Structure 1
Amino acid sequence: MFKKLPGDETRNLVSTTPDTAVVFRPAVVKTPAIITLIIWLSRLVVGLVRTVWRHPVAVAVPVGLGLLWWQYGYGLALLLVGLVLMAGLCWFSLDRASLRRMVGWRLLAWWRLVWVYRRDWHAVMTVSGLGRYLRGRDYLPRLVRVECNEWADRVTVRMLGGQAVKDWADRTDNLAHGFGAPSCRVAVERAGRLVLTFPRRDPLADPLPAVPVPDRPSVGPVEIGQQEDGRPLRLKVHGTHVLVAGATGAGKGSFLWGTIRGLLPAMRAGLVQVWALDPKRMELSFGRPLFGDRYAADPKQCADLLDEAVCVMQERADRFAGLQRNHTPTVQDPFVLVIVDEVAFLTAYQSDKQLKQRISAALATLTTQGRAVGVGVLAALQDPRKEVMNIRNLFPDKIALRLDESEQVDMVLGDGARDRGALADHISPVPQLGAGVGYVRLETSPDPVRVRAAYVSDADIRAMVADFALVGEEAR
Structure 2
Amino acid sequence: MFKKLPGDEARNLVSTTPDTAVVFRPAVVKTPAIVTLLIWLFRLIAGLVRLVVRHPVAVAVPVGLGVIWTLYGRTMALTVGGFVPAMGLSWFLLERDSFLRLVGWRLLAWWRLIVVYRRHWQPVVVISGLGRHLRGRDYLPHLRRVTCDEWADRVSVKMLAGQAVKDWADRAEHLAHGFGAPSCRVAVARAGRLVLTFPRRDPLAVPLPAVPVPDDPDVGPVEIGRCEDGRPLRLKVHGTHVLIAGATGAGKGSYLWGTIRGLLPTIRAGLVQVWALDPKRMELSFGRDLFRGRYAADPAECADLLDEAVSVMQERADRFAGLQRSHTPTIDDPFILVVVDEVAFLTAYQPDKHLRQRITAALATLTTQGRAVGVGIMAALQDPRKEVMNIRNLFPDKIALRLDESEQVDMVLGDGARDRGALADHISPIPHRGAGVGYLRLKTSPDPVRVRAAYVSDADVRDMAQRYGNASTESTDTANGCAGDTGHGCRGGVDGFEYGSEAA
TM-score range, shorter chain: over 0.9
Q: CA deviation at 1:73?
A: 1.9
Letter in 2 for 1:341: D
Aligned to 1:401: 401
Aligned to 2:410: 410
Aligned pair 1:247/2:247, yes or no?
yes
Alignment: residue pair count: 468
2 CA distance for matches of 1:4 and 1:146? 53
SS in 1 for 2:243: strand
Query: What pairs with 1:61-460 in structure 2 (closer than 5 Å)?
Result: 61-460=61-460
SS in 2 for 1:187: strand
> In 1, are the aligned partners of 2:342 and 2:381 still within 8 Å (CA)?
yes
Identify unmatched segments of 5+ residues in structure 2. Answer: 9-15, 478-488, 491-504
> In 2, are the aligned partners of 1:273 and 1:472 still within 8 Å (CA)?
no
> In 1, are the aligned partners of 2:6 and 2:27 still within 8 Å (CA)?
no
Aligned to 2:23: 24
1 CA distance for matches of 2:20 and 2:332? 94
Letter in 1 for 2:243: L
Letter in 1 for 2:162: G
SS in 2 for 1:50: helix
SS in 2 for 1:154: strand
SS in 1 for 2:187: strand
Shift in CA distance, 22/92, structure 1 to aligned 2, threshold 3 Å: closer
SS in 2 for 1:205: coil
2 CA distance for matches of 1:8 and 1:305? 86
> In 1, are the aligned partners of 2:7 and 2:27 still within 8 Å (CA)?
no
**Cα deviations by residue, 1:91-148 (Å, 9 ceiling, x for unpaired):** 2222111111110001001111111111111111111111122333221111111100
1 CA distance for matches of 2:311 and 2:473? 19
Letter in 2 for 1:136: G
Q: CA deviation at 1:47?
A: 1.5
In the superposition, the TM-score normalised over structure 2's length comes to: 0.90
Shift in CA distance, 22/206, structure 1 to aligned 2, threshold 3 Å: closer
1 CA distance for matches of 2:473 and 2:445? 35
2 CA distance for matches of 1:245 and 1:220? 23
Shift in CA distance, 353/26, structure 1 to aligned 2, threshold 3 Å: farther
> In 2, are the aligned partners of 1:4 and 1:22 still within 8 Å (CA)?
no
Moved more, 75-84 or 207-216: 75-84
SS in 2 for 1:6: coil
**Cα deviations by residue, 1:137-173 (Å, 9 ceiling, x for unpaired):** 2211111111000000011111111111101101101
2 CA distance for matches of 1:220 and 1:384? 28
Q: CA deviation at 1:23?
A: 2.3
2 CA distance for matches of 1:306 and 1:438? 28
Letter in 1 for 2:233: L
SS in 1 for 2:155: strand
**Cα deviations by residue, 1:364-422 (Å, 9 ceiling, x for unpaired):** 00000001000000000000000000000000000000000111000000001001100
SS in 1 for 2:210: coil
SS in 2 for 1:195: strand
Shift in CA distance, 74/253, structure 1 to aligned 2, threshold 3 Å: same
Shift in CA distance, 33/458, structure 1 to aligned 2, threshold 3 Å: farther
Shift in CA distance, 472/298, structure 1 to aligned 2, threshold 3 Å: farther
SS in 2 for 1:23: coil
**Cα deviations by residue, 1:444-468 (Å, 9 ceiling, x for unpaired):** 1111000000000011011111111
Letter in 1 for 2:96: R
Letter in 2 for 1:230: G
2 CA distance for matches of 1:27 and 1:238? 71
2 CA distance for matches of 1:438 and 1:181? 19
Moved more, 203-212 or 465-474: 465-474
Q: CA deviation at 1:7?
A: 4.3
> In 2, are the aligned partners of 1:131 and 1:139 still within 8 Å (CA)?
yes
1 CA distance for matches of 2:3 and 2:48? 46
SS in 2 for 1:24: coil
Shift in CA distance, 366/201, structure 1 to aligned 2, threshold 3 Å: same
Q: CA deviation at 1:42?
A: 3.1
Identify unmatched segments of 5+ residues in structure 1. Answer: 10-16
Letter in 1 for 2:26: A
Q: CA deviation at 1:41?
A: 3.6
**Cα deviations by residue, 1:331-362 (Å, 9 ceiling, x for unpaired):** 00000000000000000001111111000000
2 CA distance for matches of 1:212 and 1:45? 57
Letter in 2 for 1:29: V
Letter in 2 for 1:348: A
Moved more, 37-46 or 175-184: 37-46
Aligned to 1:12: none
